[in-house]
Structure 1
Amino acid sequence: MYFDRTNNCWVGSVSLGTDQQARRIRRSVRDRDYRKASAKLDELLEEVEAGRDVGNRYTVADAAQDWLEHLASSTLAKGTVEELRCIARKWIVPGLGRTRLKKLTTEDVEVWLQTMTAVLATTSIRKRLGTLRRVIKLAQAHGHVRDNVADLADAPRGTEGRPSKAFTLDQDQAVLRASMGHPIHAYLALTLLTGVRPEEARPLTWRHTHLNPVRGVLCSCGTVHDKDLPAHVEVWHSVRGGGDTKTPKSRRTVALPRYVIATLTKHRTEQRQIRAEHGWKSEDIEYVFGTRYDTPEKAQVIRDQFRAVVVRAGLANEWAPRETRQSFTSILSDLGAPIETIADLLGHASTTTTRTVYRRQLRPVITTGAETLDQVFGTDFLNPE
């Protein structure tokens, strides 16, 4: 530690050896206050001893780029990886990229988050903060920074997100009619009338789709059933990482309504004809809603086709494919189905999840009990003749 009279400050330096040209590599700290300069020097020595990068040119953009390269080898689903890439390139790099990672403060992160409050919902802001935390965490693991300042920041409240909604029975029927003759009709019939999630429907295979009652067939659960099973789909896969469903309870076997059976039967015949006409694989087709290459259809293609059908049905273009599941819940509830049955069909571990997530779609007043008892204890019971 020495006093630099020219700049009127205390300077402390650490030698890091020599470079390829045998020139001494030094890192220095400085401050006009001796105690502060000494504290900075102690921190620098601590970083050297811990094997951390003591350079000061590594930026948030550098950290994001390293994280994106690391992300390419992760086990996350492809769609999740693309979403995280988009967040890093559209939000983190433009907003914080030029900041040197060691100089980044919690206040910098909070100011960055505040710029999102006018355009993003709270959940979206949280997702971007979570992504930044993952970027810095990798930089920590590689010795570029000591602390993850993003861990100390809280996501502010953003705009009000659009709550999920459900089709009425008339709208449900209108959407199905509008989709007739279009590739998405069979997909909508299945999701609207069984509650299967979009990420479960897209990778559904014909091997797991049984359009006739079956006996003695090996099920996805590994059991050969000795009783006749009605036509059903075995919902055991999704497009999530590893191909697993959202939760273990989500693995379920769902019986098919007659309309879905007829629609899927017709869809399979037309699928084979269309693929044969175009010279595509037409035998041993794997995916029910597959592409020309017999791979699961992309989510964006489903969204585009779904919104086009919604417009043809005379509805506003503000619906999402995931709301077919809300519609299924709402219609079953209106028809008096017990919440336990709805929870099983949705693949929920308990009715608590069903009540919490689909509270807007569940029948607000349960009238089944009153309607049943009215048949026995009507008004005549109080006023006998």
Structure 2
Amino acid sequence: MASAALTRAVRAWLTHLDVERGVSANTLKAYTRDLARYQEYLTGLGVSDPRGVTEAQVGGFVSYLRAGSQDHPPLAASSAGRSLVAVRGFHRFLALEGEADADPSAEVSPPTPPARLPKAISIDEVERLLEAASVGDTPAALRDRALLELLYGTGARISEAVGLDLDDVDGILGEAGAAGDAVVRLRGKGDKERLVPVGSYAASALAAYVVRARPVLAGAGTPALFLNQRGGRLSRQSAWTLLRHAAERAGLPGHLTPHTLRHSFATHLLDGGADVRVVQELLGHASVTTTQIYTQVTIQRLREVWAQSHPRAR
């Protein structure tokens, strides 16, 4: 059972939240539950006075939540982090009210949630998507195919692709359209530029669009590469829409986004044996650490193949 001093302090903060801060009933209920667990934890350590709580004990509470106990299942990082918010608010309140000399929770960091692996689609699914993007021979169909081929072929962000001007693409016409000759200048975060090779499929699609479709769509003097039906620069929203329509025609998941093609570009390169630092340069990542998340994707694929194929896997 929690000490009277701990109980009084917790009630004082909850009353402050309710009366003076006017927090919602749901928030108050959640904080009450979190602090009841905190009181239980401190009592188990023999702590009876909130003024005697140490930083190590607050950090230990987070570990305790993540590990779980006989009476409580382990909490996810997000849930444990929410409980820490309640604990921090409690100790900050005591320090501001002069009920404690310091806030022992101030330097305690919330648990880091596990990195979410990027969603990539298979090569077969990419091909279905690209075929579905070029239904008919209209200027819009040629543009859509060229845009999606470029996104997958270069790993460009959608903002980089729609921000391209005609002068940013070189070597897509004539004999230079062969694989390895065409390049595109992409402007990434912080206006950092990088040159990325354009493969033969994307180069051919871009050439067909530039020669046969862009002159039909082009407004007066616009430098933009990808144009909308009014002759202006294609927006990110419109690019998302055309991708969604192509995904629907291809029978692919509705959550497909332009970033999915970027993820697929990186994953398929690594699956094919590309060095992670080369992929880093192609993606325009400032740190190789950012790119290394894609190596987890390929390891996951290796595990799946092993589990399905190896006689000792099951």
Name the TM-score class by shorter chain.
0.5 to 0.7
Alignment partner, residue 243 of structure 2: 306
Q: Does 1:171 align with 2:125?
A: yes
Following superposition, the deviation at residue 160 of structure 1 comes to 10
Q: For CA contacts below 8 A with separation 6 or more, give which structure has more relative contact order.
A: 2
Checking the alignment, whether the CA contact within 8 Å between 2:117 and 2:297 is kept in structure 1 is: no
The one-letter code sitting in structure 2 at the alignment partner of 1:184 is D
The one-letter code sitting in structure 2 at the alignment partner of 1:235 is L
For 1:270 and 1:195, the matched residues in 2 are separated by: 25
Q: Per the alignment, do residues 261 and 342 of structure 1 end up closer, same or farther by CA in structure 2, a change over 3 Å counting?
A: same
**1:36-77 C-alpha deviation (Å, 9 max, x unpaired):** xxxxxxxxxxxxxxxxxxxxxxxxxxxxxxxxxxxxxxxxxx
Q: Per the alignment, do residues 343 and 160 of structure 1 end up closer, same or farther by CA in structure 2, a change over 3 Å counting?
A: closer
For 2:116 and 2:29, the matched residues in 1 are separated by: 20
Alignment partner, residue 278 of structure 2: 341
Q: Which runs of 5+ in 1 are unaligned?
A: 1-102, 116-121, 127-151, 215-228, 237-244, 367-385
The one-letter code sitting in structure 1 at the alignment partner of 2:131 is R
The one-letter code sitting in structure 1 at the alignment partner of 2:213 is Q
The structure 1 residue matched to 2:146, chosen from 175, 186, 193, is 186
Alignment partner, residue 235 of structure 1: 186
Counterpart mapping for 1:1-385 below 5 A: 104=21, 111=27, 164-181=118-135, 182=141, 183-212=143-172, 230-236=181-187, 245-247=188-190, 250-275=192-217, 281=219, 284-356=221-293, 358-363=294-299
The one-letter code sitting in structure 2 at the alignment partner of 1:267 is Y
Checking the alignment, whether the CA contact within 8 Å between 2:267 and 2:295 is kept in structure 1 is: no
**1:107-140 C-alpha deviation (Å, 9 max, x unpaired):** 569929979xxxxxx6xx99xxxxxxxxxxxxxx
Between the two proteins, the alignment pairs up a number of residues equal to 202
For 2:199 and 2:298, the matched residues in 1 are separated by: 21
Checking the alignment, whether the CA contact within 8 Å between 1:329 and 1:361 is kept in structure 2 is: no
**1:256-299 C-alpha deviation (Å, 9 max, x unpaired):** 11111111011112333432xxxx62x64411112245443222
The one-letter code sitting in structure 2 at the alignment partner of 1:205 is D
Checking the alignment, whether the CA contact within 8 Å between 2:118 and 2:297 is kept in structure 1 is: no
The one-letter code sitting in structure 2 at the alignment partner of 1:331 is H
For 2:234 and 2:206, the matched residues in 1 are separated by: 16
Q: Per the alignment, do residues 285 and 170 of structure 1 end up closer, same or farther by CA in structure 2, a change over 3 Å counting?
A: same
For 1:259 and 1:178, the matched residues in 2 are separated by: 15
Q: Per the alignment, do residues 273 and 365 of structure 1 end up closer, same or farther by CA in structure 2, a change over 3 Å counting?
A: closer
The one-letter code sitting in structure 2 at the alignment partner of 1:165 is K
The one-letter code sitting in structure 1 at the alignment partner of 2:189 is K
For 2:30 and 2:162, the matched residues in 1 are separated by: 37
Q: TM-score, normalising length from structure 1?
A: 0.44
Alignment partner, residue 310 of structure 2: none
Following superposition, the deviation at residue 176 of structure 1 comes to 0.9
Following superposition, the deviation at residue 332 of structure 1 comes to 0.6
> Which of the pair has more CA radius of gyration?
1
Q: Give the 4+ runs in structure 1 shifted more than 6 A.
A: 112-115, 159-162
Checking the alignment, whether the CA contact within 8 Å between 1:186 and 1:264 is kept in structure 2 is: yes
**Structure 2 counterpart SS, 1:253:** strand
**Structure 1 counterpart SS, 2:297:** coil
Checking the alignment, whether the CA contact within 8 Å between 1:194 and 1:254 is kept in structure 2 is: yes
Following superposition, the deviation at residue 302 of structure 1 comes to 1.7
Checking the alignment, whether the CA contact within 8 Å between 1:209 and 1:232 is kept in structure 2 is: yes
Percentage of matched positions with identical amino acids: 25
For 1:264 and 1:209, the matched residues in 2 are separated by: 9
